[in-house]
Amino acid sequence: MSIFSKEEIARFRDETKGTQYVIHLNNAGAALSPDPVVRAQMDYLEREAEIGGYEVNREKKEELDRLYMIAASWLNCNSGNIAYTDSATTGWLRAIYAIPFQSGDSILTSEIEYATNYLSYLHLSRQIGVQIRTIHSDQYGRVDLNHLEDQLDESTRLVAITHVPTNSGIINPVEEIGNMLKGRDTWYLIDACQSAGQVPLDVQKLNCDFLSVTGRKYLRGPRSSGLLYASDRALSESTPLTIDLHSAEWTDAEDYEIHSDAQRFEQWEQNLSGKTGLAQAIDYYLNAGSKTVFNTLVHHAKLLRNQLQQMEGVSVYDAGGEQGGIVTFDPNVDPVQLKEQLSQHAFNVSVSPLSSTLLDMKRRGYKDLIRASVHYYNTEEEILRFAEILEELIRNQR
């Protein structure tokens, strides 16, 4: 398994200003952006200040449009299948509310769904009469493929799966699910919010209709930036819930035409400096090498899990199987207080609350957890230092 050398990691750190000030283990929240991403945004904003917003938009049109090409290269699709959004949530919501649900349709989803996603299912249930069915988890906490196959029936309008959950490092078998759905009329929506920039993605292998991505997490892109992949089927058989003069053309007093490509899911007002930054972030990720990025994340996370498992009273949340860079654990002390104490030592982590993945956390008897999410620009020394300080702080709280 190829991982980045110490020399390569040192180069990434030299291009990441934040590593001078903090030990950043909150990459599943928002990663530290590399210098090229920051420069792209700053250059755009400075040019806006010089000549005006509309004017720089025209001047840099080719640079802005490049995002679609680089994203398509990354995800293995055509540029017309890519929409730019202000977040993964926005893209995900535009996807699910474009699917033609009817009363009596059912949604199959996992027990580790994020709160926003599950709230949308509940809203569709209340508004339309859609039924929600959750797929059992296997011994590792992933979607149980056998139970999913048993649950598929004529009422199943949508299978919606979170690739990597917010509250643990497990990786759901989304490619296997896509293969299972081939030849069926069922829609397939993947939330890749936590996997994009961490786990290699190929929408042809995933066989999904929609896939939503954020820029700010493992891709190391700007906040308020994201992508929505929409398949050819999605473009021909779904209709956006809302449109504007960017996503559609007003052709007559009583008529309009929705754009045929994925930009039908965009809107006119966009974070354009973020658009240039996101293109740079994808470039940076691809140049680093998606497989080596993932392998390094796995290596760092395994080191952290091993350290945590040796601490008295600490319970690591991940159940096993294939694991990525998100490590969650119950410290057996107040997690909010512990997070604040860690920040005083320049360690950035977050708290994963019960409410964010309610079904999974209640099923397993957990409340709030500490989430430490590693990246490839972290070092082994940082992880060992974190474990040392963490153990000391936990001991002092008891």
Sequence spans of domains, the chain: 6-25+289-397, 37-287
pTM, 2 dp: 0.96
Q: Residue 31's closest CA among 54, 55, 56, 12?
A: 12
Q: Which of the listed CATH numbers 3.90.1640.10, 3.40.640.10, 3.90.1150.10, 3.30.1150.10 matches domain 37-287?
A: 3.40.640.10
Bridge partner list, 168: none
Pick the CATH number of 6-25+289-397 from 2.60.40.10, 3.40.1190.20, 3.90.1150.10, 3.10.180.10: 3.90.1150.10
Q: What is the pLDDT of residue 398?
A: 73
With 0-12 CB in 10 A as exposed, 13-18 as middle and 19+ as buried, what is 58?
exposed
- Tell me the backbone φ, ψ of residue 293, rounded to 5 degrees: -55, -50
Please tell me what DSSP assigns to residue 161: E
User: Is 297:303 a contact under the CB 8 Å cutoff?
Assistant: no
Q: How much is the pLDDT for 364?
A: 84
Output the tens digit of pLDDT for each of the chain's 398 residues. 799 999 999 999 999 999 999 999 999 999 999 999 999 999 999 999 999 999 999 999 999 999 999 999 999 999 999 999 999 999 999 999 999 999 999 999 999 999 999 999 999 999 999 999 999 999 888 999 999 999 999 999 999 999 999 998 999 999 999 999 999 999 999 999 999 999 999 999 999 999 999 999 999 999 999 999 999 999 999 999 999 999 999 999 999 999 999 999 999 999 999 999 999 999 999 999 999 999 999 999 999 999 999 999 999 987 677 899 999 999 999 999 999 999 999 999 999 998 899 988 888 888 899 999 999 999 999 999 999 999 999 998 87
What Rg value do the Cα atoms of the chain yield, rounded?
21
- 61 CA to centre of own chain: 27
What pLDDT was estimated at residue 29?
Answer: 97
Report in angstroms the alpha-carbon separations of 285 from 162, 281, 282, 306.
Answer: 22, 6, 5, 27
Distance CA 80, CA 82 (A): 6
Question: From CA 298, how far away is CA 171, in angstroms rounded?
Answer: 11
Please count the other Cβ atoms lying within 10 Å of the Cβ belonging to residue 310. 10
Strands (E) located in 317-390: 326-330, 347-348, 350-352, 369-373
What is the per-residue pLDDT for 150? Answer: 96
pLDDT of residue 140: 87
- Here the tokens at position 326 are 């998100």
Q: For residues 108 and 68, what is the distance between their CA atoms, to the nearest angstrom? A: 31
What Cα–Cα distance (Å) separates residue 394 from each residue in 158, 321, 327? Answer: 44, 28, 17
Q: What is the pLDDT of residue 139?
A: 87
